[in-house]
């Protein structure tokens, strides 16, 4: 049984743009952090437990940021699919 649903295309477009921006910013942040760490490690000769702890935390943070970026990309896909479905639902239905 179909229900009439008002789909806010403007809100969906805004959400889609925000999710793409979030994905791009998270990816850029990850890349900048990785480059910054790499240059620091090349310039500094620090080692031992502090470095090991830092690198372990850095890897964990990079994975978390990657997960968030991936979720933003997936949510954008879901919004796009819902918008496509809403467009199809607005078309007049033909009966055979």
- Measure the CA–CA gap between 77 and 20, rounded to whole angstroms: 10
Q: 68 or 2, which is more confident?
A: 68
Per-residue model confidence (pLDDT) at position 1: 42
Residue-range domains of the chain with CATH: 9-87 (1.10.287)
User: What are the tens digits of pLDDT across the range 41-60?
Assistant: 666 666 788 778 888 888 89
Supply the pTM of this predicted model.
0.72
Two tokens at 59?
A: 């890897």
- Judged against a pLDDT cut of 80, whether residue 93 lies above it is answered with no
- Judged against a pLDDT cut of 80, whether residue 35 lies above it is answered with no
CA distance from start to end of the chain:
19
Two tokens at 60?
A: 């964990």
User: Among 68, 70, 72, which residue's Cα sits nearest to residue 17?
Assistant: 72
- Measure the CA–CA gap between 2 and 90, rounded to whole angstroms: 12
């Amino acid at each position: 049984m179909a229900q009439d649903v008002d789909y806010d295309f403007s809100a969906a477009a805004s959400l889609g743009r925000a999710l793409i921006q979030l994905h791009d910013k998270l990816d850029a942040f990850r890349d900048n952090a990785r480059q910054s760490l790499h240059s620091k490690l090349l310039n500094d000769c620090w080692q031992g437990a502090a470095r090991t702890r830092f690198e372990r935390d850095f890897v964990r943070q990079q994975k978390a940021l990657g997960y968030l970026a991936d979720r933003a990309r997936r949510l954008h896909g879901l919004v796009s699919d819902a918008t496509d479905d809403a467009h199809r639902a607005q078309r007049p239905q033909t009966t055979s």
